[in-house]
Amino acid sequence: MTTGRLKNKNIVITGASSGIGLSIASLCAERGANLVLLARRLDILEQIKQDLEEHFSVNVQVYKLDVSNSEEVKAVFSKLLKEHSTIDVLVNNAGFGVFRAAHEVAMEDVKGMFDVNVVGLIACTTSVLPLMRQQRKGHIINIASQAGKIATPKSSVYSATKHAVLGYTNSLRMELSDFNVSVTAVNPGPIETDFHSIADESGTYVKSVERFILKPDFVARKVVDRMLTNTREINLPRWMNVGSILFALFPSLFERVGKKALNKK
């Protein structure tokens, strides 16, 4: 448990207004952490701030931030870094997906997914790296996906963004190993959040995986329990990660056998 480990630590969370981000924020507040919550909907963040401060007597700051806007990322992080001499944890949670066949994906959605899932994540991370290297401690947690390990039909662009996140995360981990800064990739399967209202407009995918779908609180607890530990990856559910190992070892066989099941989007 991390009850004592997180007390009075400063934790920054992107995409904190709903889903996993909100669940992570609530658990961190429960364990005594001070929070900086970032999302596009400031009105929702203000309500979350009020609720968490009332229930847990912690300090919560909120900022409106669209991570796809690099200039806005610079401005917001410049402001919050002036107010916090130490950042202990950055959780890069903001992200979205669109599930469509490759020839049907609009270029606007392609750019949008890369701008949020990849460029935005890198921009936020770059903003805290000088401080974490200087203070020689910290933890960067990147919410990736099992889709970054197993490419599936109708998620070509989304999978590409998550492959990019994992490549960046793995490189960053090696760069920061001498600075006592941990870097963790979180690779969940499908989660019961608003993500699917955009990604899966037809509801076909959600229906096909409903018996496997993860609850946001479950994923959040696994993440928060590993904060400020030297954890390389968190793979959820564990059995699904077996698929990614088989995919890496026997890609042709996996694609041939799993095509029908993986195509249910």
| Neighbour tally for 174: CB within 10 Å | 9
For the beta sheet containing 89-92, the strands, ordered from the edge strand earlier in sequence to the opposite edge, are 60-64, 34-39, 10-14, 89-92, 138-143, 181-188, 233-236
* 209 Cβ neighbours under 8 A, 6+ residues apart: 189, 190, 264
Active site (annotated) includes residue 205: no
Marked catalytic residue, from 63, 158, 168, 205: 158
Residue 58 C-alpha from the chain's centroid? 23
Rounded Cα distance between 114 and 121, Å, is: 10
How many H helices and E strands in the chain?
11, 7
What Å distances lie between residue 141 and 36, 59, 137, 184, CA to CA? 15, 21, 14, 5
Rounded Cα distance between 173 and 254, Å, is: 29
Rounded Cα distance between 168 and 89, Å, is: 17
**Active centre residues (catalytic):** 158
